[in-house]
Amino acid sequence: MQRSWTSFQKATEMVRNGHLGDIKKVLVNVGDPAIPFNMVSEPVPSEVNWNQWCGPAPLLPYNERLSPSTSAAFFPDWRLFSETGGGILTDWGAHMFDIAQWGLGMDRTGPVKFIPPTDKKAVRGMQMFYENGVEMVHEDFGRGWGVRFMGSKGNLDISRSYLETDPPSILESQVTPEDDLKSRGNHYQNWIDAIKKDTSLIADVEIGHRSASVGNICNIAYQLGRTLEWNPEKEKFVGDSEANKMKSRKNRKH
């Protein structure tokens, strides 16, 4: 979705066109990895088919925070737990790792090495390395959920609420005219047009898959607490059968 926003388009074009020089490192701040379910059991409301709601996932104890009513003033917490989601690491990571991948020109691939922090309780600090040596780190750089591209000529910070460079003069170098940036148009209309007219998508299915994969692999590396080597072409961990088994899970029957 962020690929349709003018600010993200401008930011990634500046990165790809060398306005930051050679990119050595990218910081991506999103939320924590997934944790095991830890909520107290509550009575299941009569209107909720809890078995069906859980579906192929484990049959968890019911808690309103997992599946709130439509009038609830909070986001559902199913996304926090490994049984039903991937933590905010994948929830927001799908958005922000996507921008990092786009800016780095890595839409059809991904990092090849994942190095978790030495502290197994840490929720930030995952280092990821692409085949070309560029490092990406799951790190809080103090500006909310966002991405920081770090180059030989300066840095660029981008999120839904800011686009800034250090030095500021870098931002003055407009890569694409504003009207051309806006020409990507309405994100939802782009999807409908692709269905009706077979036109191209702003973000096709492999782009989405590759961006989402980064967060999922991070979760596995955080959980195992050891360095993992990843083959993006075969989509397998190299020499680690335990990690490969964690790419999927056994679903409940029926």
Q: Is the pLDDT of residue 177 over 80?
A: no
Calculated CA dihedral for residues 94, 95, 98, 100, nearest 10 degrees: -120
> Alpha-carbon distance 19 to 12, whole Å?
10
The bridge status of strand 23-29 relative to strand 135-138 is parallel
Q: Per DSSP, which regions of the chain are E strands?
A: 23-29, 113-115, 127-129, 135-138, 146-151, 155-158, 163-166, 228-231, 236-237
- Lookup result for tokens 């490994």: 82
Average pLDDT over residues 38-54: 95
**CA nearest to 112, candidates 247, 234, 230:** 230
pLDDT tens per residue across span 122-160: 999 999 999 999 999 999 999 999 999 999 999 999 999
Taking CA 223 as the corner, what is the angle to CA 145 and CA 159, rounded to the nearest 5 degrees? 10
DSSP state of 151: E
Q: Domain 2-34+88-178+205-245 sits in which CATH superfamily?
A: Dihydrodipicolinate Reductase; domain 2 (3.30.360.10)
> Alpha-carbon distance 62 to 162, whole Å?
39
Report the predicted TM-score, pTM, of the whole model to 2 decimal places: 0.94
Helix H or strand E encompassing 97: helix 93-104
pLDDT tens per residue across span 86-122: 999 999 999 999 999 999 999 999 999 999 999 999 9
pLDDT of residue 185: 73
What pairs with residue 135 in β-bridges?
25, 129
Domain positions in the chain:
2-34+88-178+205-245
Q: Is the pLDDT of residue 52 over 70?
A: yes
Specify whether the CB–CB gap between 165 and 154 falls below 8 A. Answer: yes
> Alpha-carbon distance 187 to 100, whole Å?
19
pLDDT of residue 70: 79
> Alpha-carbon distance 148 to 108, whole Å?
21
